[in-house]
Amino acid sequence: MCGNPKIFIFFRSISGFFDTVMNTTPRTLTALVIGLLLGVGVCLFILGFLDPSSTVSNTKQSRPANTAPLAAPPKPPTVRLFPSAPETPREFRESQDKDSVAWTQIEQEFWAATDESVQIEILDRIESDLYTARLLPFLEKLFATPTLNSAVRERALELLSGNLSPDILPILQNVMRQSDADLRARSLLAASQVRSPDTAAFLGSAFTDPSPLVRLTAFDTLEHQTEQTRRQVLEKALTAPHPDAALHALGELQVDSNHASVPLLIQGLNAPLPEVRDEATSALEFLFDQRFENAAQATDWWATNQKRYDQNLVEKN
């Protein structure tokens, strides 16, 4: 049966068993036993027909002698893990006289190299041995060179990641103009430790980016920022032309639920997107059991009634 003698012997055994059962068992019970055995037999038949070892054996016999063995299936593409904002800030070390000669030599090595791994190794050496402000003009030239591949650019961005100096912002702003959305998102994370009045403007520029990855990455940088910068960035997000950014900002403010967040929630009533205005209306109604028609009405009410609420917006007795 299908070339498998074990299955044929099994069915012969079943046939003999049926003859015995029919002569000694009531017909109803006999029918049940027959049905059960037939089910088992069909399962064994299918397993025998689909026996992997039998299939492999038949395949080996039928393959011509001059045919190459089947190649192993290709490996799935490597997933490029997205980094997080740096937890530890750092600064450039003071430059020394000997650094000038070392920089000249290492820059010549980098621009002469054509192999990606060699270029990344040179960037590693720069980070460990020459981490001074001289890095900035070098990286400015690097990001302006379109022939360098993404792995080299990502490694170069890591050299700036976590740096406290506002001097890195112009370079990161140039990176934000490049076509690679992943690189633009990484540039935002690189600035997460910068303490500067210009930081909010840089991070806020992400909310007009065409990529949702870039827009939402801007929120990941706020954990390490000052409260003032955080509020300024959220305020910019509320006026974003993309609902994902504006609604995410409203969500952050609702989680805060404190006195400082209320004026920003009220600003959401003036947001350009109707879904954002609706969400801001619902959020304020949930917090205060008040439905406001516009931001001016909400502002007046809050000025009169904010003393009734503690810092967590719980109404006092």
Least confident of 35-44, 188-197, 203-212: 35-44
pLDDT higher at 35 or 298: 298
Q: Which two tokens stand for residue 263?
A: 């004026």
Q: Measuring CA to CA, which residue among 274, 207, 197, 210 is closest to residue 236?
A: 207
pLDDT tens, position by position, 213-252? 999 999 999 999 999 999 999 999 999 999 999 999 999 9
Phi, psi angle pair for 315, to nearest 5°: -65, 130
Pairwise CA distance, residues 238 & 120, whole Å: 39
pLDDT above 70 for 72:
no
pLDDT above 70 for 73:
no
**Confidence at residue 53, expressed as pLDDT on a 0 to 100 scale:** 41
Burial class from Cβ neighbours inside 10 Å (0-12, 13-18, 19+) for residue 152 reads: buried
pLDDT above 80 for 270:
yes
- Distance linking the first and last C-alpha atoms of the chain: 87
pLDDT tens, position by position, 52-66? 443 333 433 333 433
Q: Which two tokens stand for residue 46?
A: 């299918």
pLDDT higher at 68 or 291: 291
The secondary structure of 129-182 as a DSSP string is: H--STTHHHHHHHHHT-TTS-HHHHHHHHHHHTTB--GGGHHHHHHHTTSS-HH
Distances from the Cα of 201 to the Cαs of 10, 51, 195, 205, 229, in angstroms? 80, 66, 12, 6, 9
Name 98's Cβ contacts closer than 8 Å, sequence gap at least 6.
none
Judge whether 90 and 163 are in contact, CB under 8 Å.
yes
2: left (phi over 0), alpha (psi -120 to 50) or beta: left
**Confidence at residue 136, expressed as pLDDT on a 0 to 100 scale:** 97
